[in-house]
A and B are shown apart, each in its own frame.
Chain A
Amino acid sequence: MKTNIYDAVKKSVTGYIDKVTEPRVVFKRQRQIKAFIGGLIRYIFLIGLCFVILFPTIQQILMALRAPGDVNNPAVIWIPENWSIQNIKISMIVLDYWRALVNTFRLSVIVMVLQLASTALAGYAFSRLKFKGSNILFILVILTIIIPPQALSLSQYLYFRDLRLIGKESSIYMMSGLGMGIRSGIFIYIFRQFFRGLPKELEESAMIDGASVFRTFWNVMLPNARGAMVTVGLFAFVWQWNDAYFVKIFEVSTEQFPLLTMELINAVTGLKAALLYTGAINLVGQDVWENPLYLALISNVSALLMMLPLLFMYLFVQKGFVESIERTGIVG
């Protein structure tokens, strides 16, 4: 009986050892361990970088929610002691926030649509409607990417002044509608690469079915280019939203048509005056607004207010954006 148990145990143990040390199992286990360690290192690395990216934003949001009196309270590092939206209220007054937000949104949406239209058409023509000299023309597109806008601004300004478009948003619309907006060259490049990557059979079968060139583009190719459209649309919107250069050169941001970027820059460069001028200063005591740290805090909150709508919208778009990279290579 005793020996039987001993035998049984020994048998099972050796069986187990045999099983464990069998080359195939060892190999499999080694691979599993390797994959696990690799995955762990990857996670640590990626999550670390994500932290670096998210850290300043989270910090700013928490900072914005402090009570104005707590600005240099050494006890407050992360979580505010007294929660308050006073800082945000003040920043909103300084920035003329809601009007500027609506205007910026309108400008960015219209520019996005115009950019999409002009660059998609040009990109399609460069990739699918080849003609003699189209490659030379495409080199010119690359040239528009390389030449800095500063080299062109003066003549463009004088040009728009003759057309009486200075100080009007239509100057920006004209730039983007004619494919010379913010980094339009890159968008044309992206669309060209994308359309080149689509199978030729699509176009050929459409042709045989009697579709015109435009119909082929509109009903067959464009729906297949959703990935590129999402990417270009996102970038066109975001870059216009963040743009301070063209808006400044063409004097688009005016008293009647305030834009967020210019309001932000103006407010930050003369914050005390802006506080006094808008009357926002009455919301806090003198001991608070005379503190330079508080002025810095307000400019940070203002920057945050400009970024938040973008972040919020990105939350909704990001799925489509990330998927668009996934499904189809932009680069053909």
Chain B
Amino acid sequence: MNLLKIKKDGQEPQQEKKKMTISYKNQKRIWAAIFLAPWLAGFFFLFLFPLIQSFIYSFYELTPVSGAINQTFVGFQNYIYAINEHVTTSSSSFKVELLNTTADSLINLPVLLIFSLFIAVLLNMKFRGRAAIRAIFFIPVILNSAAVATALGGGDVITQILEQSGIDRIFDLEFYLIQTGLTPIIVTFIVGLIGRIYDILALAGVPILLFLASIQSVPKHLYEAAKIEGATSYEMFWLITLPNVSPHIVTVTVYALVDTFLTSPVSGIISDELKRQAWGLSSAMAWIYVGTIIVMLGSLAVLAKGLKIGGSHYEN
């Protein structure tokens, strides 16, 4: 007990110093440096340096010549081109996709947050078969893959052939529902809903996981006390679960926002330009993308601060 107190004060006891040549605190510092060494090396060589370089590249026109790269300074030309003139092969453009993704994510984020919190609360309750249902809910996280999505879309070529011959997909839910005799309006509604449910479920895997974990970490005695006082589970959700989970809403939001952008057509366009060796242009696009995300995160942070979501419920 005595030792602990001394340690907390930050002073090393005299006897210990004689035994160990390096104090525990300094030992900790040394080990911190060792533990962080791989990450720091990676950060400088594989993150910071490429980041700065790509920022510089975004102002240049880069043309690969054998063994080297020709650089010509073009100022903001790349940025202007990306926003005003860029058109992709599938008659879409960087600007349109960026605006679409931004708007989509603004609409989807609240839905995603509420949905995943709701599911997390449901999955946290005790009922028979909970383990099996939980296991099923994380399957979309595992199957969420760009390659699989391409293949399931049948690939561009095949999709084109199929569209030309008037056939959409092999297994078209819409087609089967219409065959059962439902009116087209209901059918499109159901199909749209189901399509979106799967998308949301695929995106919601990690948020559900994060929420579930944070619900688990709420002290159990709070619920016990509330139960003894006669609170309903509805009241317990609003007064105990939600305030305790709210610090993690920010985490989940950041994750979901970044994830939405990473899987959006915008990052596809940037990769395509990269493949086309339009390096300056793709760097400029990447920086526009980064700028958008940072602006969105910044405004979310301001919003969270304004609404007092975030900081711990009890400490403040």
Q: Complex formed: what's the CA distance from A319 to B24 in Å?
A: 39
Set A142, A177, A303: member contacting B38, Cβ < 8 A: A177
A146 and B290 contact, CB distance less than 8 A: yes
Contacts of A177 in B (CB 8 A): 38, 42
* Chain A residues within 8 Å of B29, by CB: 129, 131
Set of chain B residues within 8 Å of A238, measured between Cβ atoms? 141-142
Interface 0/1 of A122-133, CB less than 8 Å to B: 101110011100
Q: Of B87-95, B155-163, B181-189, which stretch is located at the interface?
A: B155-163
B12-71 residues with Cβ-Cβ distance < 8 A to A are 24, 27-32, 35-36, 38-43, 45-47, 49-51, 53-54, 57, 69
Flag whether A322 is at the interface (Cβ < 8 A): yes
Q: Is the CB of B248 within 8 A of A303?
A: no
- Report if A245 contacts B (CB, 8 A): yes
Tell whether B197 is near chain A: CB-to-CB under 8 Å. Answer: yes
| CB atoms of B147 and A328 under 8 A apart | no
By the criterion CB–CB under 8 Å, are B214 and A329 in contact? yes
Query: Given the complex of chains A and B, what is the CA–CA distance between A307 and B134 in angstroms?
Result: 19
A151–B290 CB distance below 8 A: yes
Q: How far, in whole Å, are A318 and B133 apart by their CA atoms in the complex?
A: 11
Q: When the two chains form their complex, are residues A53 and B50 in contact, meaning their CB atoms are under 8 A apart?
A: no
Residues of B contacting A264 in the complex (Cβ-Cβ under 8 angstroms): 147-148, 150-151
Asked if B248 and A331 make an inter-chain contact with CB atoms under 8 angstroms apart, the answer reads yes
Chain B neighbourhood of A213, CB < 8 A: 24, 27-28, 30-31
* Residue B171 is within 8 A (CB to CB) of chain A in the complex: yes
CB neighbours of A150 from chain B (8 A)? 267, 270-271, 274, 282, 285-286, 289
Within 8 A of A (CB), among B166-218: 167, 169-171, 176, 194, 197-198, 201, 209-210, 212-217
| Residues in A neighbouring B162, C-beta threshold 8 A | 292-293, 296
Interface size class on chain B is 35 or more
CB–CB B146/A146 < 8 A: no
Give the shortest distance, in Å, between A123 (CB) and chain B (any CB).
9
Question: Within the complex, what minimum Cβ distance (angstroms) separates B260 from chain A?
Answer: 12
- Grouping DSSP codes into helix (H, G, I), strand (E, B) and loop, the A interface class, with mixed when no group exceeds half, is helix
In the complex, the answer to whether B46 meets A178 with C-beta atoms within 8 Å is yes
The reply on A306 being an interface residue by CB < 8 A is yes
Would A42 and B213 count as touching, CB distance under 8 A?
Answer: no
A262 to B57, CA, bound (A): 28
Measured CA separation A86–B210 after assembly (Å): 42
Neighbour of A49 across the interface among B137, B147, B215, CB < 8 A: B137
* B45/A178 in contact, CB under 8 A: yes
Is A331 in contact with B213, judged by CB distance below 8 angstroms?
Answer: yes
Known: A322-B135, A329-B217. Contact between A56 and B198, CB under 8 A?
yes
Please determine whether B32 and A134 come into contact, CB atoms closer than 8 angstroms.
Answer: yes
| CB–CB B47/A152 < 8 A | yes
B299 at the interface (CB under 8 A from A): no
* A207 on interface, CB distance cutoff 8 Å: yes
Residues in A neighbouring B135, C-beta threshold 8 A: 314, 318-319, 321-322
A residues 163-183 touching B (CB-CB < 8 Å)? 174-175, 177-180
Known: A146-B297, A154-B274. A42 touches B146 (CB 8 A): no
- B residues near A69, Cβ cutoff 8 Å: none
CA distance A54 to B198 in the complex (A): 10
A121-B39, A131-B32, A154-B279 known; A331 vs B131 contact (CB < 8 Å)? no
B138 interface residue, CB < 8 Å from A?
yes
In the bound complex, do residue B145 and residue A63 qualify as a contact, i.e. CB atoms below 8 Å apart?
no
Neighbouring B residues of A242 by C-beta, 8 Å: 144-148
Shortest A30–chain B CB gap in Å is 12
How close is B280's CB to chain A, nearest CB, in angstroms? 9
- Which of B72-80, B221-229, B235-243, B250-258 lies at the binding interface? B250-258
Is there an interface contact between B122 and A42, defined as CB atoms closer than 8 Å?
A: yes
Question: Can you list 25 A-B pairs with a CB-CB distance of less than 8 A?
Answer: A49-B197, A52-B201, A53-B140, A126-B36, A129-B35, A137-B40, A145-B254, A151-B283, A153-B271, A153-B274, A159-B46, A179-B42, A189-B251, A244-B147, A261-B145, A271-B157, A296-B162, A299-B151, A300-B151, A303-B151, A310-B143, A319-B131, A321-B135, A325-B216, A331-B217
Besides A146-B258, A235-B141, 5 more A-B contacts (Cβ < 8 Å) are A188-B39, A265-B151, A299-B152, A306-B147, A307-B148
Chain A residues engaging chain B, CB cutoff 8 angstroms: 39, 42-43, 45-47, 49-50, 52-54, 56-57, 59, 63, 71, 77, 117-119, 121-122, 124-126, 129-131, 134, 137, 140, 142, 144-148, 150-156, 158-159, 174-175, 177-180, 186, 188-189, 197, 204, 207-208, 212-214, 217, 231, 235, 238, 241-242, 244-245, 249, 260-262, 264-265, 268-271, 292-293, 295-297, 299-300, 302-303, 306-307, 310-311, 314, 318-319, 321-322, 325-326, 328-332
